[in-house]
Chain A
C-alpha cells in the first residue's frame, strides 16, 4: 500500500472516531432529551410538522403499533413511487421525455429505495426523469434512513429503558422519530453537504442534457441533473443509489479526491455516531464504544484484505508489458487508484450504502470476496443508518447468551434477562438472511431465467448471483456489475428479497424491543459479565465472523474461492 494510501486510511479512521462522540451526543439530544436543541429555529419547524401531520409528540407507541406504522409508511411509499415511475411521461420535469418505467422495474425500484437498498436495475440518466429522481427516489433516500434510525432507537429503548410509571412497554413514536430525523439531522446536513459538493464542481441543475462536441468533433450528450442534492443523502443515508449509472465513479457525481473522502465520511457518520447515542441511552458509554470497537476492527481487517488483494497484479496479465506494481486496475477510475477504490468498496459494503466508485466485478476474486463477505456478515460493520446498530445489537444479544452461560449465570444484557422469547426473535432475525440469499441464489443458479442474465460463466457467474441476492437481502444495493438484472425474473426476485430483508428483519427487532422493555433490570455485580469490555468486543467479533463464515463458506468456496485458486493456475472465467 502506498504511503498516501496509509495516510488516507489513518486520517479516515481518525475522523470517524473523533466525530462519533460529538455527533452521537447531538443525536442523543435530538431523540432522547426532553428539549431537543435549536428550539427557536428547527424546533419551530418540528412543531409545525407535528401540527401539519396531526402527530401528538407525547403519545408513545408499543412495539406492535410502532411496527404497524413502519409497515404502513413503507407500503405507502412503495405505492407512491411505483405510480410516479409508471406515470413519469405525464409528469413535469422530464426534459429528456423519458417513457414510463416497465412495471417489474418500477416495482423493483420502488421497493429498492423504500427499503434503503437502492439496488438499481436501470441506468438513471437514460431511464428516469428529474421528477422521478427527486420525488420518487429522493423522498425515500431521506425517509428510509429515518425509519432505520427509528427502529434502532426503538430497540435501544427496549434494551435500556427501565420499566417505570411512564413509558412502560412503549418503545417511542415512529412519527416523532421520523420527523426529528428529517428536521434535525438529515435535511440540514444534506443542505450543508450539498453546498460543499457544488463548490467542488458537482452538478446541480434541472436542465436537459448539454449537446457538445468532443475534440474529435463527435457529437456528445452530457446528461445534467440535480446531482449534488441527491449525492449527500445518498451517502449520509447509506442509500447508495447513484444519479448516474456508474455512480460515484462519474466525475459529476464524485469530482475530486476531497469529495471522495467526504462522501466516505458521510457514509460512516451516522452509523458510528448511533453507537455512542446507544451508549448514552444505556447510561454507560462503554456499551456503545464496545459496539463501535467491534465494527472498527472488522472494518480495518476488511480494508487491509481488499487493498492487499487489489494491490496484487492480475495473474492473467502476467506476460504483458504493463506496470504490475500498480495492482489490478481493471474497472477502476485512475483518479482513485487501487487504494481509493478498495477503501470505497470496503466502506460501501461494510455500511449498507452500495454506492461504488469502481466496478467490484473487475476486482480480483479475493478483492471481490471481501465486499461480499462484508454484506454477508449481516451489514453490521457500521451497517446501514440505524440498521447497522440494530443488527449489531442482535449479535450482541447472541454473544451475551453464550457469554452468560460460560460465566454460570442465565444470560442477561444490560441487566435484562435473555430468555426463550428473545432467543426466538434473535434467531428469526439471523435466519431470514441466509434463507433468502441461499434459497433465491439456488433458484437463480438452476433456472434459465436466472442464468441468462449472467455476464460470466463458472465460479465468477455464481459470485454475481450470490452478490446480487446478498446485496438485496442485506439492503445494501451495491451491484457487482456484470449481471444484466433488468429482466422480470431478476427485478421480481430481487424486489421480494429486498422486502424480506428489510421488513422480516425489522419485525423481530421491534418485537424483541417490546419483550425486553418490560423486564426488570438486575443490578450489575462482579458476577455479571461486563459488556463494555475489550473481551466482549472480541467475543462479539467471534460470533459475527463464525456465524457468517459457517453459513456462507460452502457457497463462497464454489464462487470467489474456486475462482481465486483457478486464477493461480492461470484459468479465468
Chain B
C-alpha cells in the first residue's frame, strides 16, 4: 500500500489501457442511464449510426455525403466514450489501490480462545465477539480491540508508515486492524467485525468506488444539467418544424450534432470523475472518507474544533521544571513527584519520571513497596501510598481539595505559582505529601510552527477555529493567543464538547472535529465531519465519517480544502460547459441556415470554411474538450484561500470568459486543420 503515497503520474500506460476497455464496457444502457445527459448523447449517437447505415443501404434518401454523416456519427460516439473514459481513469486509480489492499486479505489462521482452550480456525470464520490470541510474527486475523497485553504492531500495510506502533489494552490505543502484523509480545484481541464488514473490506469497497453513491450536491447539479438538456432538446427538436416553415430541410444527423454540442456534455462527462478523484485525493492524504457526502460536507465546514494536543501544540506536554514552595527542599519535591508519577502512564507522567531521573538522579525504586493509585478522570490525580504516607500529584485544584480533605491547607503561594505558570501557557501540576503541598511541576506546551499562518488562511475562507483543551481557562487563553485560534473551550469534557457542537449547529453552522478516544465518539457522531484517528478506539472510528490513517489531527485542514476543491471543480466545469455554447451556436447555426437564408452568412463570424467542416469541427471540439479537461477534473482546480467574492470573480473570469473564448479558438483551429488536410 505504500505505493499509494508515491506520486503517480495521472496517466500510466497500463491504467490507460484498462480505462479504454472499461469505457467501451460502460456503454451498456443500464450504466449510461445513471448519467442522463450522456445517455442522451448515446441515444443520439445510436440514431445517427442507424441513419448512417440506412444511407449506405439505400443511397436514394441521402441528403449529405456519406463521409460527413459517418464522421459526425463517429465523433458523437467518441463524446460518449471520452466521458466514460474519464470515469474509468478515475476509477482505475482506485482499483489499482484496491488490488494492493486485496492482496493483504490473504487467508490466515487464527488462534481462537474457546472456553479457555486454544483452537485454530480460519480467519474468515471469526465472528464479532470472538477472542483470539496473536503473538509476535503473526498477522492479526481481524479488526478488534486488545483486551489484554501490549505489543508493537507493523501497520505499514494499512497506513504506509513503516515505523511500528504500540498497541495496548485499555485507553485509546487499543484498536487493531486485521491484516496488520504483530512484531513483538503477544496480545489477546476481541474481534469487533463480522466477515466482510471489516475495515479492510470497507476500505476496498470505498477505494473501488463500488459503494459510491451520488452526493446531495451532485444530485442537485445533475438536475440542473438535465434541465438544461431538456431546454436544448426543445430548442433543437422544434427547429425541425420551424425550419420546415422556412423551407429548410434539416437532416436528423445535423440536429443531433447540434443538440450534443449544446447540452452540457463537458461537465456531465467529467462529473463522476470529479467525485471519484476527490475521494482518491483524500486517500492520497491517507484519509479514508466513509462517504462522498462527508467529503462534500467538509467543504462547507464553518467551525473547526481542534484538539490542542497534537494539532496545535507539539504532541504532549513535557515537564520542564520543578518549583518547590518556600521551605521545601527541591530533592523532596523531586522524590515525591517521581513516586507520584511512576504509575502514571500518560506522556506527561512519563516526562516527570524522566525529568526527575535526568536532573535529580532518582532511580532504582522497589516498586513492590508501594501501592499505586492510577490517574482517574474523577479525582484528576495520581500517586502512591507508601504505608501511611500518601503522595499525590495532579491538577492544582484537585490537590488543594485533596489536602484540605486531609486537614491541611494550600497557601496562597501555590495559587500564585500556578497562576504564573498558567499565564505563560504552561500547565501547573501540584505535588502533595500527606496534607502538605510540596511544590509545582511546570508542564509546557510547544505550539507547532506555521500553525498560526494556517489559521489565518482559514479565517480568510470564513472558517472559525476553536481550540479544545482540558486545560484551565488561563492556560487555554495563553495558548490560544499564541496559536492564533478564534476561540477556545477550556476544561473540556466529552459533554461540554458535545454541547459546543450542538450549540454551533443550532446556529446553522457545520462543524468538523477530530477525535480518537471512546469518549470522543458521541461528539464525532454529532459533528458534521468527524475525523477519527486510526490509532483511536474502534468506537471512535465507528462514530466518525472519516478515518485518518496517519492519525495526524492537522489533516482536518487538508480535508476541508479537498472538500472545497471538489465543489469548485464542479462549478468551474459547469460554467465552462455552458459558456462554450455561445461559440457552438455561431459555428453550427449559420451552417444549418445559410443554405435556406444566404443572407444569414454574417452570423458565420468565425468564417468557417464550409457548413460541413463547421459542424464537424464543433462536434470534434465538444468531444476533445472532455479529454483535455480530464487532468483538471482529476487534480481539481487549485484552491486559493480567498474571500468568496474574490474567488468568484477569479473563477468567472477564467472559466466563464475563458469558456466563451476557448471554443471560438478551438473550433476555428479544427476547421483550419480539416480544410488543410483537405478532409472537408
Residues of A within 8 A of B (CB): 398, 401-411, 415, 418-420, 422-424, 427, 430-431, 434-435, 438-439, 441-443, 445-446, 458-459, 461-462, 520-523, 525-530, 533, 535, 539, 542, 546-547, 549-555, 557-558, 561-562, 565-566, 568-569, 571
Contact = CB atoms under 8 A, between A and B. Distances in A.
A445 B245 contact: yes
B600 A438 contact: no
B296 interface: yes
30 contacts: A404-B567, A411-B220, A419-B220, A423-B223, A423-B227, A427-B223, A430-B231, A441-B238, A441-B242, A446-B241, A446-B244, A522-B302, A522-B509, A523-B507, A523-B509, A525-B462, A525-B464, A526-B460, A529-B644, A530-B645, A550-B232, A550-B585, A551-B235, A552-B235, A554-B236, A555-B242, A557-B600, A558-B245, A562-B593, A562-B600
Given A410-B567, A434-B231, A443 B220 contact: no
Contacts of A539: 648, 652
A546 B578 contact: yes
B235 A462 contact: no
B639 interface: yes
Given A529-B644, A546-B579, A554-B235, 9 more contacts: A406-B568, A423-B223, A438-B242, A462-B242, A520-B508, A526-B460, A546-B581, A551-B231, A565-B597
Interface string B558-581: 000001110110111011001101
A407 B648 contact: yes
Contacts of B236: 554
B644 A565 contact: no
Given A408-B568, A409-B567, A562-B600, A535 B648 contact: yes
B647 interface: yes
B542 to A, nearest CB: 26
B278 to A, nearest CB: 12
Nearest to A529: B644
Contacts of B563: 408
Contacts of B361: none
Contacts of A441: 238, 242
Contact of B644 (A410, A520, A527, A561): A527
Interface of B: 216-217, 219-221, 223-224, 226-227, 230-232, 234-246, 248, 258, 262, 296, 299-300, 302, 459-464, 507-510, 563-565, 567-568, 570-572, 574-575, 578-579, 581-582, 585, 589, 593, 597, 599-603, 639, 643-645, 647-649, 651-652, 655-656
A405 B509 contact: no
A403 B648 contact: yes
A401 B223 CA distance: 12
Nearest to A435: B234
A420 B302 contact: no
Contacts of B510: 522
Contact of B231 (A403, A409, A431, A542): A431
A423 B224 contact: yes
B571 A404 contact: yes
Contacts of B241: 442-443, 445-446
A422 B227 CA distance: 13
A422 to B, nearest CB: 8
A405 B648 contact: no
Contacts of A415: 508
Contacts of A402: 571, 574-575
A interface majority secondary structure: helix
B interface majority secondary structure: helix
A405 B567 contact: yes
A434 B234 CA distance: 7
B224 A558 contact: no
Contact of A562 (B235, B246, B644): B246
Contacts of A410: 216-217, 296, 299-300, 567
Contacts of B655: 406
A410 B651 CA distance: 16
B245 A446 contact: yes
Given A402-B571, A530-B644, A550-B232, A523 B585 contact: no
Contacts of A520: 508
Contacts, number: 218
Contact of B246 (A407, A526, A558): A558
A430 B227 contact: yes
Contact of A406 (B581, B600, B651): B651
A566 B602 CA distance: 11
Nearest to B602: A565
Nearest to B639: A408
A410 B293 CA distance: 11
Contact of A527 (B226, B463, B656): B463
Contacts of A462: 242, 245-246
Contact of A424 (B223, B296, B299, B567): B223
A408 B223 contact: no
A458 B600 CA distance: 14
B647 A408 contact: yes
Best-buried of A420, A521, A523, A529 by chain B (most CB within 10 Å) = A420
Contacts of A529: 644-645, 648
A558 B597 CA distance: 8
Best-buried of B239, B296, B568, B645 by chain A (most CB within 10 Å) = B645
A441 B219 CA distance: 33
Best-buried of A398, A418, A529, A569 by chain B (most CB within 10 Å) = A529
B246 A405 contact: no
Contact of B227 (A404, A406, A431, A568): A431
A526 B462 contact: yes
Given A408-B564, A408-B567, A435-B234, A565 B300 contact: no
Nearest to A458: B246
A554 B589 contact: yes
Given A406-B648, A526-B461, A528-B644, A555 B235 contact: yes
Contacts of A522: 302, 508-510
Nearest to A568: B599
Best-buried of A406, A529, A547 by chain B (most CB within 10 Å) = A406
Contacts of B219: 420
Contacts of B651: 406-407
B302 A401 contact: no
Contacts of B302: 522-523, 525, 527
Contacts of B464: 525
A433 B227 CA distance: 12
Contact of B581 (A424, A550, A555): A550
**The 10 residue pairs across chains A and B that have the minimum distance between CB atoms:** A527-B462, A405-B571, A408-B564, A427-B227, A525-B462, A438-B238, A442-B241, A445-B245, A406-B571, A526-B462
A429 B572 CA distance: 24
A188 to B, nearest CB: 41
Best-buried of B224, B459, B507, B649 by chain A (most CB within 10 Å) = B224
